Amino acid sequence: MTELPPLPPGPRLFEAAPPAYRPLDAGWWQWMAENRLRDCAPASMLQTMAQAGLDPAECSEALGALERHPIYLAARRHQQLLRKRDAVLENLQRLWASDPGYLQIEKRPVPPLAEFVERYVRGCRPVVLTGVAEDWPARRRWSPADLKARFGHLDVEIQAERSADPRFEENKLSHRREVRLADFVDRVLAGGETNDYYLTANNEVLSRPEFDLLLQDIGTLPALCDRAQLSACSSLWFGPAGTVTPLHHDTIMLFHTQIVGRKRWRFISPLQIAHLYNYNGVFSPVDLDAPDLARYPDFAKAQVLEVVAEPGDTVFLPLGWWHQVRSLDVSLSFSYSNLAFPNHYTYTNPEITDW
């Protein structure tokens, strides 16, 4: 009888199949480089990658290869240059903050022009001026009812549906809505405290001839201002209590006069930009009302200055200062950047919108 060849071995019923790992693709290589440049610990990174379904052995080998890669080594050199720049800014900030009154925003009558320029413009220091609007008809006339009576039939551009979008100001173009001003006044007065809708500087109503009467309600300006440029360089703000302008910096200097209601201004020095996670344009993702230190731990090093602008107060915003503004009441404000002083500056802004 011919002997049959043995059967091939069957499957081992109780042996687990090799795990199916996610690929270590270009996105993960970029993630590794970014986090090592932040000096994240490799062990912590490997744990995160394993939890995401990547092969721990492949990730460990890739991290080692990354540290030796010439592109990564070049990035480390440029990082040294940026860290030196940050250190220079931080040392200057320490010098500014050594002033015993640094954390206090001054409130004072308008000083002589030469003093104002040296202390606040060239000195780059925010201040609240009292008495600027003392002779303004706007101080006696402007109110939500006045807006409705004189201009209620006109359409204006507002921002709406902001509450559902944490980046509402960055995405402001998608929040533009045309509304009849009378209807918007009614909505503001009936809606209570909210950040969902706001007539902001982007409306540009003051450049329209139909609103010239509002500009006629503006009296004496600070001596630093050029009256001839007022219509081209001014903005109207109107909204309910609770409206927020998120943390950002402007690219010019300006004055902001509070006509109706109060606003809380909070400022951070431009020298502290390294702590503000400025990944997109002029914006910081940090919310000063509820800073997320788990996500933005370096923000804990920033010094925040605060002041409440009362009706009649004028805030001077110096160049580059970060600020977040919240309306404490139904608010009407007038801002203007018509300085008779160089007020055009160039910024190279980041556009890292997915970081």
CATH code, domain carrying 328: 2.60.120.650
- pLDDT, tens digit, for every residue of 209-237? 999 999 999 999 999 999 999 999 999 99
Q: Of 71-75, 216-220, 322-326, 350-354, which gets the smallest average pLDDT? A: 350-354
For the chain, report the end-to-end CA distance as a whole number of angstroms: 75
Q: Which H or E run includes 74?
A: helix 70-97
- Contact at 8 Å (CB) between 298 and 334? no
In 3D space, the residue among 182, 176, 177, 175 whose CA is nearest the CA of residue 154 turns out to be: 182
- pLDDT, tens digit, for every residue of 100-148? 999 999 999 999 999 999 999 999 999 999 999 999 999 999 999 999 9
β strands within 181-330, DSSP E: 197-198, 234-239, 244-249, 254-260, 263-268, 305-309, 314-317, 322-327
The range of the structural domain enclosing residue 133 comes to 104-336
Q: Which H or E run includes 273?
A: none
52 shares its domain with 111: no
Return the pLDDT at 204. Answer: 87
Does the pLDDT of residue 200 top 80, yes or no? yes
Is residue 153 a part of any domain in this protein? yes
Tokens 């998120």 identify what position?
A: 246
160 shares its domain with 298: yes
137 shares its domain with 255: yes
46 shares its domain with 132: no
Mean pLDDT for the chain overall:
95
275 shares its domain with 143: yes
The total domain count for the chain is 2
Secondary structure of residue 122 in the 3-state scheme? coil
Q: Of 68, 92, 123, which residue sits at a domain end?
A: 68
Is residue 11 a part of any domain in this protein? no
Residues, the chain, total?
Answer: 355
Secondary structure of residue 160 in the 3-state scheme? strand
Is residue 201 a part of any domain in this protein? yes
Q: Rounded to two decimals, what is the model's pTM? A: 0.91
